[in-house]
Amino acid sequence: MKSSHRLLLLPVAIFFMAFWLLPVSRLLILPAEQDWRLYFVFLTEARYAWSLINTLGLSIGVTLVTLVLGAAVGLYLGRQPFPGRQLLLSILTLPLSFPGVIIGFFMILLAGRQGLVTDITQALGLGRFSFAYGLAGLFLAYLYFSLPRAIAAYAAAAQSMDKSVEEAARSLGARRWHIIRDVWMVQLESTTSACAAIVFATAMGAFGTAFTLSSQFEVLPITIYSEFTNFANFTLAASLSITLGLFTWFALFLTRRKETVAGVASQ
């Protein structure tokens, strides 16, 4: 590398070193300063293990449902021309710019103590049914912020899909399910893996939504936050952050590698 180029990288390098690498390195070694076993607290203490299992289960579930629904909506909007399609697509992807707290609040308006669903169930004589603060509310809220990502990705991918393969399959008498499995899913594979990783990683690290709902279903970001604020336990918060960070980083790393492999293979 030329020395003039090194000079151009210098400001970013210094900035990044000072405000990310050094602070994160300190965070990484913090548990070791006390007891290296603290790194594995997510395995050894039931409370933290459950919090991790909750988060993983919720994130995997949200990812699966998001992929199915996002693909359905994205394919429909990407392939079926109808008036107002572009408008609908831009409204459905609008929540991409909402902070997570707004989506938590949306769930409260929908199914909280004074929520719409709660009013409807009461009017139907089913009593005041509010599910916003439990697993169902959290699941729907996570779905809300995940769907726009998937819809945008699949709609873009659907527009560049090769229609002739599908036509050929259809004229050869392929059934609808076979077209979905052997044509659509194959052509959308790279979109699906990239989307799955992003949705999963976002769901794992999401904090604002669960924070607003102050959910009874505890997820890892909330556990980390309460260790830090309520118990002033910096070391434990650091250890759990490392665990969480490794999960999200690894999910993104996996698909990136797969993509490069696929990219190399196709060349």
Partner 1 sequence: MTRRTQSPGLALITAIVAIFMLTPMVLSTTAALVNNYSQGLASGLTLRWLEQVISVYGQTVVWSIAIAVACVIGNILIGVPAAYALARNPSRWAKTFEEILTLPVAVPGLATGLALILAYGTLRDFRQSYSFILVGHMIFTLPFLVRTVTAAFQRPDLVAMDEAAKTLGANFRQRFLGILVPAVLPAIAAGSLMVFTLSIGEFNLTWMLHTPLTRTLPVGLADSYASMRLEVGSAYTLVFFIVVLPMLWLLQWCTHLLEKKYAN
- What are 81's two structure tokens? 């021309």
CA-wise closest residue to 117 among 144, 143, 140: 140
Contacts (CB under 8 A) with partner 1, residues 148-187:
148, 151
Among residues 48 and 144, whose Cβ is nearest to partner 1? 144
Taking the complex as a whole, the smallest distance from the CB of residue 50 to partner 1 amounts, in Å, to 19
Binding-site size, partner 1 (CB under 8 A): 78
Taking the complex as a whole, the smallest distance from the CB of residue 36 to partner 1 amounts, in Å, to 18
DSSP H helices, 80-114, are: 85-93, 100-111
Contacts (CB under 8 A) with partner 1, residues 184-243:
201, 204-208, 211-212, 221, 224-225, 228, 234, 237-238, 241-242
Q: 């999960």: which residue's tokens?
A: 247
DSSP H helices, the chain, are: 3-16, 22-34, 41-44, 46-79, 85-93, 100-111, 116-123, 135-159, 163-171, 176-179, 185-187, 189-205, 208-213, 220-229, 234-266
CA gap 146, 90 in Å, rounded: 15
CA gap 188, 183 in Å, rounded: 9
Q: 């602070």: which residue's tokens?
A: 23
Among residues 205 and 217, whose Cβ is nearest to partner 1? 205
Taking the complex as a whole, the smallest distance from the CB of residue 154 to partner 1 amounts, in Å, to 11
For the beta carbon of residue 256, count every other beta carbon within 10 angstroms: 13
Taking the complex as a whole, the smallest distance from the CB of residue 150 to partner 1 amounts, in Å, to 10
**Cβ atoms 236, 38 nearer than 8 A:** yes
Taking the complex as a whole, the smallest distance from the CB of residue 37 to partner 1 amounts, in Å, to 20
Residue 42 CB contacts under 8 Å (≥ 6 apart), including other chains: 48, 49, 51, 52, 239, 240, 243
- Interaction pattern, residues 48-77, with partner 1; x per rule: CB under 8 A: ---------------------x--xx-xxx
Taking the complex as a whole, the smallest distance from the CB of residue 42 to partner 1 amounts, in Å, to 14
The correct pick among 62, 110, 183, 196 for binding partner 1 (CB under 8 A) is: 110
Taking the complex as a whole, the smallest distance from the CB of residue 266 to partner 1 amounts, in Å, to 19
Among residues 252 and 262, whose Cβ is nearest to partner 1? 252
**Considering only 33-41, 44-52, 100-108, 125-133, which stretch makes contact with partner 1 by CB under 8 A?**
100-108
Contacts (CB under 8 A) with partner 1, residues 2-21:
4-6, 8-9, 11-13, 15-16, 19-21
40 binds partner 1 (CB under 8 A): no
Taking the complex as a whole, the smallest distance from the CB of residue 26 to partner 1 amounts, in Å, to 5
CA-wise closest residue to 158 among 191, 193, 200, 195: 191
The correct pick among 43, 53, 94, 261 for binding partner 1 (CB under 8 A) is: 94
